[in-house]
């Protein structure tokens, strides 16, 4: 893909002005880090607050009398558990149970849902949804181009946003419309860092002013690289690394987000995988010696690393890997072939970084 076909978020100029390194990511020109570097951004989110432009993520609105039945038909979780204003994590599965995407959905009204998609899957998700509307009285709308998404994360993230909000911020895993810094937006008590915070879904024209004000009030701009190290310390899955169409949710450790009794597309395959038990399981790991394992490194004796990095908080190599189930218990040691060198690792519990015990 050439740069001329890459999309820019509403905040592109803000990033360049802040000294960001811009990289192509899932069809977008995105800031991977700013002038002070990944470590400083990572620690700002753990200790205080950081702000991420995640406008590359897509949004799909589902409305109409059949909206609830429609999302239940496609999403793996029990959508009837969502009250108005609540958020839910679910998978979009293919008929064979392979994971097409992992999604956060907000119920905005009795017949109104908003789903956030991964940038790399947005177009195929939307096409998949549109291809399944038959028999449902529902309107599915791609609203990604209109919406910018800012994630403000960290122990003081809420405090910063609250000072410019006209309403109390929504609790964790809920969402509400409100006015922040004079702009109407959807405020969501969600995130991808393992810290408290909010995500703001705002009209793209309003995004630069809101971004600038939150930065002015002390949130440090943070890029995709810090977002990745933060999510991995917290053991959140990344689609394309830890999730793919070749893996079912049971292998991926996401059985908790699948309620097969609802009969969603792929539920029979997921139920069969659950009953049979997975041959391999996705587990978090820590390296016990030096080195860093990376995505694609083979596990000696079977399995594969799907995410790996150096943990800025722990100072050791961490990651997630699919391991044979019989060797995937917390405390089990295994070896990873890292570019021809054998590195030793141990299966760890979630999250890899725990502020209470590791802080």
Partner 1 sequence: MAEASYPDDLLYHCEHDWAKVDGDVATFGITWFAQDALGEVVFFDPPEVGTSVTADEFYAEVESVKAVSDVIAPLSGEIVEVNTALAEATEAINEDPYGEGWMVRVKLSNPSEVETLLDRDSYVGGLS
Single residue of 37, 135, 168, 289 touching partner 1 by CB under 8 A: 37
CA distance 305 to 136: 40
Q: Where are the beta strands (DSSP E) in 191-303?
A: 197-203, 220-221, 280-287
CB of 223 to partner 1, least distance (A): 10
Q: How far, CA to CA in Å, does 349 sit from each of 95, 204, 253, 278, 319?
A: 31, 39, 12, 19, 12
Query: Could you tell me if 157 and 197 are in contact, meaning their C-beta atoms sit under 8 angstroms apart?
Result: yes
229 lies in the site for partner 1, by CB under 8 A: yes
Single residue of 132, 286, 294, 355 touching partner 1 by CB under 8 A: 294
What are the residues facing 341 on neighbouring strands? 338
Furthest-apart CA atoms within the chain: distance in Å: 58
Task: Enter the DSSP assignment of 20.
Answer: P
252 lies in the site for partner 1, by CB under 8 A: no
Instruction: Name which of residues 301 to 330 contact partner 1 (CB under 8 A).
Output: 309-310, 312, 317
291 lies in the site for partner 1, by CB under 8 A: yes
Backbone angles phi, psi at 92, to 5 degrees: -105, 120
User: Which range in 37-45, 164-172, 190-198, 270-278 contacts partner 1 by CB under 8 A?
Assistant: 37-45
42 or 237, CB closer to partner 1? 42
Q: Is 263 left (phi over 0), alpha (psi -120 to 50) or beta?
A: left
CA distance 46 to 63: 37
Single residue of 9, 14, 15, 33 touching partner 1 by CB under 8 A: 33
77 or 297, CB closer to partner 1? 297
Site string for partner 1, 173-212 (x = CB under 8 A): ----------------------------------------
CA distance 284 to 295: 13
CA dihedral for 47, 48, 52, 58, sign (positive or negative): positive
CB of 310 to partner 1, least distance (A): 4
Single residue of 10, 32, 99, 215 touching partner 1 by CB under 8 A: 32
Single residue of 292, 298, 304, 337 touching partner 1 by CB under 8 A: 292
* Binding positions for partner 1, rule: CB under 8 A: 21, 32-33, 35, 37-39, 225, 228-229, 290-292, 294, 309-310, 312, 317, 339, 341
């Amino acid at each position: 893909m050439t740069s001329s076909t890459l999309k820019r978020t509403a905040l592109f100029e803000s990033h360049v002005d802040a000294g960001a390194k811009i990289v192509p990511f899932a069809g977008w020109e995105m800031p991977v880090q700013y002038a002070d570097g990944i470590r400083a951004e990572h620690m700002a989110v753990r200790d205080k607050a950081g702000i991420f432009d995640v406008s590359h993520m897509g949004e799909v609105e589902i409305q109409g009398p059949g909206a609830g039945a429609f999302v239940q038909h496609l999403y793996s979780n029990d959508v009837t558990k969502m009250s108005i204003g609540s958020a839910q994590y679910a998978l979009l599965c293919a008929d064979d149970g392979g994971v097409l995407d992992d999604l956060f959905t907000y119920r905005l009204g009795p017949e109104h849902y908003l789903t956030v998609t991964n940038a790399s899957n947005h177009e195929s998700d939307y096409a998949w949804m549109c291809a399944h509307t038959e028999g449902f009285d529902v309107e599915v709308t791609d609203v990604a181009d209109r919406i910018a998404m800012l994630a403000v994360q960290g122990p003081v993230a809420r405090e910063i946003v609250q000072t410019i909000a006209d309403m109390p911020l929504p609790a964790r895993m809920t969402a509400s419309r409100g006015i922040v810094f004079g702009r109407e937006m959807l405020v969501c008590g969600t995130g991808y860092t393992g810290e408290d915070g909010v995500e703001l879904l705002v009209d793209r024209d309003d995004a630069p002013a809101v971004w600038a004000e939150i930065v002015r009030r002390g949130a440090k701009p943070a890029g995709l690289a810090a977002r990745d190290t933060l999510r991995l310390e917290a053991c959140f899955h990344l689609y394309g690394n830890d999730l793919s169409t070749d893996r079912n949710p049971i292998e991926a450790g996401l059985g908790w987000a699948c309620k097969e009794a609802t009969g969603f597309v792929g539920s029979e395959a997921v139920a069969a995988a659950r009953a049979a038990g997975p041959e391999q399981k996705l587990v978090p790991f820590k390296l016990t010696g030096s080195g860093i394992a990376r995505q694609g490194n083979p596990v000696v004796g079977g399995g594969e690393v799907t995410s790996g990095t150096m943990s800025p908080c722990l100072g050791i190599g961490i990651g997630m890997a699919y391991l044979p189930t019989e060797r995937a218990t917390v405390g089990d040691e295994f070896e990873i072939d890292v570019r021809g060198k054998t590195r030793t690792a141990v299966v760890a519990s979630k999250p890899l970084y725990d502020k209470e015990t590791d802080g």
